[in-house]
Amino acid sequence: MRMRLTIFVIFLVTLSGLCANALAASLCQVRWVDDGDTVVLTDGRRVRYIGVNAPEVAHENRPPERFGPEARTFNRKLVYGKKVRLEFDREKQDQYGRVLAYVFLQDGTFVNAELVKRGYACYLFRRPNAKYDPLLLGLQREAMAKRLGMWEKFPDQGGPFPGNRHSRRFHRTTCPFGKATSPKHRIIFKTKYDALWAGYSPCKKCNP
């Protein structure tokens, strides 16, 4: 009986060590922070956070978007130089070759969610990666209601803004993509705030 117990204890210790080694091997270190939703790892991979979209920082001749520098600063405080764990969804890369991932700190902090929760990024719907969509949209609504981060003194715009229920994007009335939306997928928002509250994101073409 004692022999069996000893063997069982040794097995548990070995298993625990293997799990710890596997976890350590799965951790990556952040070498650089591009902006509020993209980082570069020490192995060279550029990681784009799934399910969120932060305002843009300055690029070449383009000025930064409202709250872009603040989002980058907050993201840097969260992850720069730290080890993170990547969790993947169905689609693992975007059209630019960036790794798509949910990012977690060693203490369990869900970085994607933290950015939305504090008002430094918006929820972004994009099929087929939708594992944490309900959580992220809920956190965005909480941040909007509390006027945190970008939502404080949010420069709302009056519409109408036609939205697409399939893509979850909203457009200006003059946008060709908005005009091409089929009637069964069309929805109209009175304000930009209303569209964002519903979980829709601005069209990149017309940038409402």
Here the tokens at position 74 are 């907050």
Q: Is 56 a catalytic residue?
A: yes
Range of the domain at 138: 26-154
- CATH number for the domain that contains residue 185: 3.40.10.10
* Model pLDDT, residue 2: 52
Quick check: is 125 in a domain?
yes
Q: Is residue 12 part of a domain?
A: no
Distances (CA, A) of 132 to 65, 100, 115, 171, 190: 26, 13, 14, 25, 27
* Active-site position among 4, 45, 46, 56: 56
Domain count, the chain: 2
2 is a catalytic site residue? no
Do 126 and 137 fall into the same domain?
yes
Whether 174 is in a domain gets the answer: yes
pLDDT value at residue 26: 81
Q: Is 98 tagged catalytic? A: yes
Q: Which of 70, 72, 98, 114 is catalytic?
A: 98
Return the pLDDT at 161. 97
**16 domain residue, yes or no:** no
- Give dist(CA 127, CA 90) in Å, integer: 9
Residue 15 domain-assigned?
A: no
Query: Could you state, in chain order, the average pLDDT of each consecutive group of 10 residues for the chain (208 residues)?
Result: 45 37 67 96 97 89 86 97 97 95 98 98 96 98 97 92 96 94 96 97 92
Q: How many CB atoms lie within 10 A of CB 121?
A: 32
